[in-house]
Amino acid sequence: MLARKNIIVALLASCLLTLSPAVLRAGLPTDQVRQTADRVLSVLQDSRLKSADKQKERRDQIRQIIGSRFDFGEMAKRSLGSNWQKANNEDQRQFVELFTELLEKSYADQIESYNGEKIVYGRENINFGRQPATGRCTTWLSRMSA
């Protein structure tokens, strides 16, 4: 099982590939991943939001943080490839909405189960205008080598 922090870093790093060029100019990819991960972790560590009855508020805050960094419309478009052009505007809008909801539901529990694991940020490789950032979770790596 992947560690929760590794999932956060992997999601953040992979989604950087789909950001618009204007967003990419905002700073080095690792800095962007680190800033976003730090903001998400601050919500997860907020004692006022830890109880089960605060789940909606906690998830709304995480959704805002991640939504401000990722272009879910572009991610949805790229996931469909050439089929995107075949869809009308309403179908595209609905697909983006469903795609975003799928990602949220797929990762929310894993992100919220964060338990203090350490994030180690890797090096950046600048390649053809895309700047992927890499990272790993030391807890996950220790399990993989065992």
- 3-state SS assignment for residue 120: strand
What is this structure's pTM?
Answer: 0.64
Would you state the pLDDT for residue 138?
44
Would you state the pLDDT for residue 146?
39
Residue numbers of the chain with a pLDDT score lower than 50: 1-2, 19-26, 137-146
Q: With contact defined as beta carbons under 8 Å apart, do 3 and 140 qualify?
A: yes
**What's the token pair of residue 6?**
């590794």
Would you state the pLDDT for residue 31?
85
CA distance 137 to 4: 8
Domains in the chain with CATH codes: 4-145 (3.10.450)
Would you state the pLDDT for residue 14?
58
Q: Which helix (H) or strand (E) holds 123?
A: strand 119-124
